[in-house]
Amino acid sequence: MTKTSLHRLSPSAYRALLSSSTPKERVVPIDATWYMPNNPKNAKQEFLKEARLKNAAFFDLDAISLPNSPYPHMLPTYSIFNKAVQDLGIEKNDKLVVYDKSGIFSSPRAAWTFSLFGHPKVYLLDNYQYYQQFRYPVQQTPVSSFATPLKSTSDTTGTYAPITEAEFNQNYRDQVIEYEELLELVKNDQLSKDYYTFDARPNDRFTGKAPEPRPGLSSGHIPSALSLPFSKVINATNKTYNVQFELLKIFNEDFGLDLSNTNFLDGKKGIIVMCGSGVTAVILKVAIQNVIGLDVPIRVYDGSWTEWASRAPKELIHKDF
């Protein structure tokens, strides 16, 4: 079954976690703020000039990605990721607390990425805005680096490689699905037989009623995919995850699925989650595995709709309008 080092963390629990920080097992916040391409905000400049959790490093989803890919923030290679994390001053024994300034938006993707590459202790702060509402302290002083200011006391000469490349490759096969495999499943009318596929984009983009935020990209959906906008699993008031019984109700009422029953897959191999470009898809993955607590295989379609709409035959781009 699925193994994960990713855990959710309430604002008060984060305050308690800080007290466990030691020179050999530091608590390092990770600002993973990212905005949609049609949003004028600049996450990197916000990190340097505005409030952040004390001693935070900034994880750039766009920069720490697969070079020269035509699709945004695709997962990087093993060596690229490890080098980028090392440059941020992060060590493999660190307890990482990942957050984003929107609440729960891009932070699940970053936290899952760290987990995928084998970081042993990854926590998702649920969430930064809620943390601020408690008037917990944040750092206001501008900084000039994306790396954590915490000094290293490691005796490993700064190297970062929590797992071997072979172990990462196994994680990747278990937790990621690529276009070619997905295309074969769709063409052979096998996708709905093998997987439940949930799309986290807003429903109007899923149906084709509304355009995609990326110019020239068709909206619509993959045949047999199900629309589950990520906003449905998030509490509209405090922007934290909805509690377990509320999530179970959504899956039951919207899809007729009883996720309280571990046999709900009924012979299927697992779940696929996707979105526009692989970011908010992970919000659904965390909701199912970490909030509901369901131990089932979940694979992220990394290229998501941006890749599918760019590469798939037109007859495999379905619209309801």
Contact between 77 and 64 (Cβ < 8 Å): no
Alpha helix segments (H runs only) across the chain? 11-18, 43-49, 78-87, 107-116, 128-133, 165-175, 179-187, 191-194, 203-207, 244-255, 281-286, 304-311
Q: Which of 64, 191, 272, 275 is catalytic?
A: 275
Q: How many C-beta atoms surround the C-beta of residue 119 within 10 A?
A: 24
Locate 273 and state its tokens: 């989650």
107-116 and 165-175 helices, crossing angle to 10°: 130
Q: Give me the torsion for CA of 80, 83, 88, 93, rounded to 10°.
A: 110
List C-alpha distances in Å: 176 to 138, 189, 235: 35, 20, 27
Per the annotation, the verdict on 311 as an active-site residue is no
Whole-angstrom Cα distance, residue 5 to residue 104? Answer: 18
Q: Is 169 helix (H, G, I), strand (E, B) or coil?
A: helix
Contacts of residue 248, defined as CB under 8 A and 6 or more positions apart, other chains included, come to 258, 259, 260, 292
Residue linked to tokens 């206001």: 140
Whole-angstrom Cα distance, residue 196 to residue 191? Answer: 8
Our CA angle for 4, 8, 12, nearest 5°, is 150
Catalytic machinery residues:
275
